[in-house]
Amino acid sequence: MQLIQIGHNGPKVAPIGIGTWAWGDNLFWSYGADYGEAELKAAYDTSLAAGVSFTDTAEIYGMGRSESLVGKFAADNAGETFIATKFFPYPWRVLRSSLPRAIRGSLQRLGVPAIDMYQVHWPFPPRSLGTWLHAIADAVEAGLVKQIGGSNLGPRQVELAIRVLESRGLRLASNQFSYSLLARKPERNGLLQVCKENQITVIAYSPLAQGLLTGKYGPKNPPRDISRRVVNGSKLGSLAPLLAEMQRIAAAHGDKPLSQVALNWCIAKGALAIPGAKNAKQAEQNAGALSWSLSEEDMASLDALSA
């Protein structure tokens, strides 16, 4: 399995991780109704057993429940883990001291002495991105954070983050953003390029377009969750030609699931893909993408059809 490095000197991990937005969340997802803790633990254990160790969570996911579940599952597991979590710049967080307080909360929920990677979830006002990056740099110096990541940073914000962290003798290790066969703007607006030029690991979130690229949803069978209908619902009607080509490619590689075509496309673009999985079957299918890869011809036709 080809591994991907976190930043310029971080650990090497499998190019597929575990996304945990839906873990413990019943605002945007249906935690407690369609799936619960037992299914999520099975997803986590299955991922780790398959060599998938990078886990992405956030203090805001399930209002802290995602971090608590990840911390609990990781503690029960002897395998390698790498946990990335995020600080949310709520509008009422105006003091720089909000960030060390948030870190203390995340450390407690995760049950670890230091966070493997800490990310600013969105570069939202009222405080500047630089303010929060300086506060994370303080946490690195205090031994509470090991790597610094961005999340939803555009190309100019990546450049700003590089400058701010350089002034503290630190580097931006990663940036996560929506990147998939249905979200290719990062290829056009310079975001992918600035990350690659600066050895910033590209973390592709929503790599399955929230399930649309698995082929199980369509105009007559949309996802039930409101947020998914709003974000991706309009794309359902025009997906058929892309899904048909993904199906052809999946069959040619030995009847692989469509999700693996979508994930292997991200990996071939040099990204670490973090699909959300809610049960062992999804986790196993997603990890299965690590055992094969797309050809140059496959990539050319997928690129053309998804453009």
Residues that bind ligand NAP (CB under 6 A): 19-22, 56, 121, 151-152, 176, 205-211, 214, 216, 223, 259, 274-278, 282, 285-286
Q: Which of 44, 61, 205, 217 is catalytic?
A: 61
Nearer to ligand NAP, 196 or 216 (CB): 216
Nearer to ligand NAP, 10 or 211 (CB): 211
Burial of 235 (0-12, 13-18, 19+ CB in 10 A): middle
What are the strands, taking DSSP E only, across the chain? Answer: 4-5, 12-13, 18-19, 54-56, 82-87, 115-120, 145-151, 172-178, 201-205, 272-273
- Select 9 or 200, whichever has its Cβ closest to ligand NAP: 200
Distance in Å, CB of 114 to ligand NAP, minimum: 20
Nearer to ligand NAP, 7 or 62 (CB): 62
- How far, in Å, CA of 307 to CA of 303, rounded? 6
Nearest to 150 by CA among 172, 182, 128: 172
From residue 179, alpha-carbon distances to 187, 230, 240, 269, 301 in Å are: 9, 18, 20, 10, 18
Query: How far apart are the C-alpha atoms of 289 and 140, rounded to whole Å?
Result: 34
Q: For the CB of residue 285, give the shortest distance to ligand NAP in the complex, in Å.
A: 4
Q: Which is nearer to ligand NAP, 161 or 209 (CB)?
A: 209
Of residues 148 and 168, the one with the C-beta less far from ligand NAP: 148
Per the rule left: phi > 0, alpha: psi between -120 and 50, beta: everything else, 190 is: left
Rounded Cα–Cα distance for residues 153 and 173 (Å): 13
Min dist CB 46 to ligand NAP, Å, is 11
* 110: alpha, beta or left? (left if phi > 0; alpha if psi -120 to 50): alpha
Question: Which residue of the chain is nearest ligand NAP when measured via CB?
Answer: 19
Instruction: Assess whether 61 carries a catalytic annotation.
Output: yes
Instruction: Give the shortest CB-266-to-ligand NAP separation in angstroms.
Output: 10
Instruction: Quote the CA–CA distance of 290 and 307 in Å, as a whole number.
Output: 25
- Minimum distance, C-beta of residue 143 to ligand NAP, in the bound complex (Å): 25
Shortest Å distance, C-beta 303 to ligand NAP: 19
| Active site (catalytic) residues | 61
